[in-house]
Amino acid sequence: MNFNIYRIYRDQDSFVVPFSSVVTTLERKFIIKVAKDSTRWIDISQGLNLSDKVEIFGNLKVGDTLVMKGNEELKEKQKVAIKF
């Protein structure tokens, strides 16, 4: 089976995260970032869907810590402990 490889150029950085990291509500779509032991809701827009991951655009940088299974119950500015 043959297939073509395409390179995608973007005007801004994009990141690939698990589908479970993205929280979608009627009002917004966001991921939950952990900074200084508390949560931050980061609005995102969605790009390409991959088999088990999704491309996102937002105010993120390489090395940020994200919640793997985001949900609305994990409120913004909530204190959390990171498990590795």
The pLDDT value given to residue 2: 66
Determine, yes or no, domain membership for 2.
no
Distances (CA, A) of 33 to 5, 14, 79: 32, 15, 12
Q: How many domains does the chain have?
A: 1
16, 50 Cβ separation under 8 angstroms: yes
The pLDDT value given to residue 74: 94
* Per-residue model confidence as pLDDT tens digits over 25-67: 999 999 999 998 999 999 999 999 988 899 999 999 999 999 9
Determine, yes or no, domain membership for 73.
no
Determine, yes or no, domain membership for 20.
yes
Rounded to an integer, what distance in angstroms lies between the CA atom of residue 26 and that of residue 7? 33
The pLDDT value given to residue 1: 60
The pLDDT value given to residue 83: 78
Which structural domain range is residue 51 located in? 15-66
Determine, yes or no, domain membership for 22.
yes
